[in-house]
Amino acid sequence: MQVRNRAPIQVKIHLKRLKRFDTNKPVLAKAIVSTYRVSKTFNAPLRFVYSWCTDYREDDMRMSGSRKKRRILDRTKKMVVWRVEGKEVKSEFDPIRAVWLRPPDSWHLECSGDETEVGDYRLTSLGRERTRLDMTFRTTCYEPKDVVSREDYVHEAKAHWDAYGRHLEQDYRRSLRR
């Protein structure tokens, strides 16, 4: 199901809200950019891992214990765009995520609305049935109190990907039995 008409509406909503900000303030001058790196190894071949990680379903977030949900706004061979929904979302802007697919071994994420984050994902084959996912995230904050410590960010990301990893490897083992 492709829904192409909602994305422009979301952009218009963001632009309307941005007009409320005082453009005379040097907001970008105060930006604090943090970079975080995380790796995860899976017991599955690269091709399976890429396909599994980039299929983006609306209920994926449940695998990591989140109550949030993805509402897919657009999906093409090169890109997936979704809105994050749920009571856990605490933002005056609609959280939007966009992923640019770069087969066979990488993809790029950009987040807006509830947070400003950019992520790059790269897969490396470690043999026939092992694959490492290396992730680099850059977050932008405008207040020092909003900066997440490296330890906290990496801990949360690893917990998230450990949960996804269990599901990924389980799905891979199931695929071998067919």
For the chain, the domains span: 6-14+31-177
Quick check: 65 pLDDT over 80?
A: no
Q: What is the average per-residue pLDDT within 58-87?
A: 79
pLDDT band at 116; cut points 50, 70, 90: confident
Residue 32: both structure tokens together:
């604090």
Give residue 5's pLDDT. 47
Q: What is the average per-residue pLDDT within 4-29?
A: 47
Q: Is the dihedral of CA 157, 163, 164, 169 positive or negative?
A: positive
pLDDT band at 143; cut points 50, 70, 90: confident
Residue 123: both structure tokens together:
């897969």
If you classify domain 6-14+31-177 with CATH, what class do you get?
alpha beta
Question: Which range is least confidently modeled, 6-15, 34-43, 159-168?
Answer: 6-15
Give residue 26's pLDDT. 53
Amino acid at 22: D
Strands (E), the chain: 32-42, 69-75, 79-85, 96-102, 106-112, 117-125, 131-141
Give residue 70's pLDDT. 80
% of the chain at pLDDT higher than 90: 53
Give residue 15's pLDDT. 43
Give residue 7's pLDDT. 47
Q: For residues 128 and 133, give the distance between their C-alpha atoms in angstroms, rounded to a whole number.
A: 15
